[in-house]
Chain A
Amino acid sequence: MNLKKLLINILLVSYIAGNCTFATESVMKGVDGSVRPVKIKTDSDTKKEKTYKHKTVLKHFSPYVLSVTNNNSKPIILSSASELHFLLDNGEDITSLSRRDIYRKTRKRDIGRYYGIAIPGCIIGGAITGITLFIGAPIGAAVAVGMYVPTDKAVRNNVKIAQDLNVHKDLPIRFEPKNTYEIRILAPNDLNIKAVKITNASFDMKKMYNMTFPVVSEEKL
């Protein structure tokens, strides 16, 4: 009878302890990776295409590239709860904004900001057209071109920022074995980052792991 009780207790304790370990996050093994700060374009740089030069982004964020290689035999999958954290020199742990929020913060407003020039421009252009047909038309054309060019430039820059975040260096939802992924990370400007952590990664969505990648020296892309 005592033996039965003992067995039940052992089973109960192992079940609870087992569940406890599943509930906590462990460190993922078999993953290599590092975070490199990206060189920002200065006037003396000649290799234009290999440096980061989006001014609207650089106002708020510093660009990094995270390289991740999965050396396990199974793919690593992320979940919707996966977050990106910045581990700082002073031991603080800061959660990154989502890619959508980063884009919203860094994009140049594409229509609204030019109404201030366009509306008075049109009124003046229209008024002059009313008085002398010969002067009004070229002024109207100049206003139209002056509106179109900066708006178009803003839209095209926004597209490049979005492509960089979401096409070329997106965070994949699944890290296939033996593959290396490059991920764009934009960290707030005023942080001294020691490492980057991805939370809630797993093999089967049951046991969750953290993946931590150290920041290495500045890279010349």
Chain B
Amino acid sequence: MKNIKNIIFVSLLTLICSGCNQYFISTTPENTYYGAYNRRDFTHADVKLFKKNSELVCDGSIYLNAPSRSITFKNDRVDAKMKLGCNDGKILDIVWQLRKGSFKDGFGEGVDQFNNIYKFKTVPKSTYKDITGDNRKITFPNDHNKSYLKY
């Protein structure tokens, strides 16, 4: 009986902790910006972005422009739109191409409100750590009132 309880507890814990961060870095400007997103439901993920050697922090959301539950074409890349607000007043509007089924493995391109161009690509966690040298744990608070992006 005790074993069954333990198994149920471990399975529930695995289910709760199964949301993994997908890491990404900027290719233009080269490796200057880096961050991660965490999928929240079938269409949305929360995002955080940092700038190397800077206090700049951005957050916001990314959403997939297609239902990911379709049986066919799960590996196709579809549009996903990322909007971020930063603590210096900047807003980024990036369009990603992500795999429909996994919400991962893609690349994105977009601009801020001054028309500066940004390009991003997803990377594995190990590559992300090597490039950024940043070991901080990226967490996503549930309270969106504290987000930099107000609307």
Contact = CB atoms under 8 A, between A and B. Distances in A.
Interface in A122-180: 151-152, 155-156, 158-159, 162-163, 166-167, 170-174
B63 A166 contact: yes
Given A96-B151, A103-B44, A158-B43, A152 B67 contact: yes
The bracket for how many chain B residues form the interface is 20 to 34
B151 A167 contact: no
B53 interface: no
A172 B110 CA distance: 13
Interface stretch (B2-10, B17-25, B85-93, B127-135): B85-93
The bracket for how many chain A residues form the interface is 20 to 34
Interface string B15-43: 00000000000000000000000000111
Contacts of B41: 107, 110, 158
A110 B111 CA distance: 32
B136 interface: no
Contacts of A172: 93
A159 B67 CA distance: 6
A182 interface: no
Nearest to B40: A104
Interface of A: 77-84, 96, 98-101, 103-104, 107, 110, 151-152, 155-156, 158-159, 162-163, 166-167, 170-174, 205
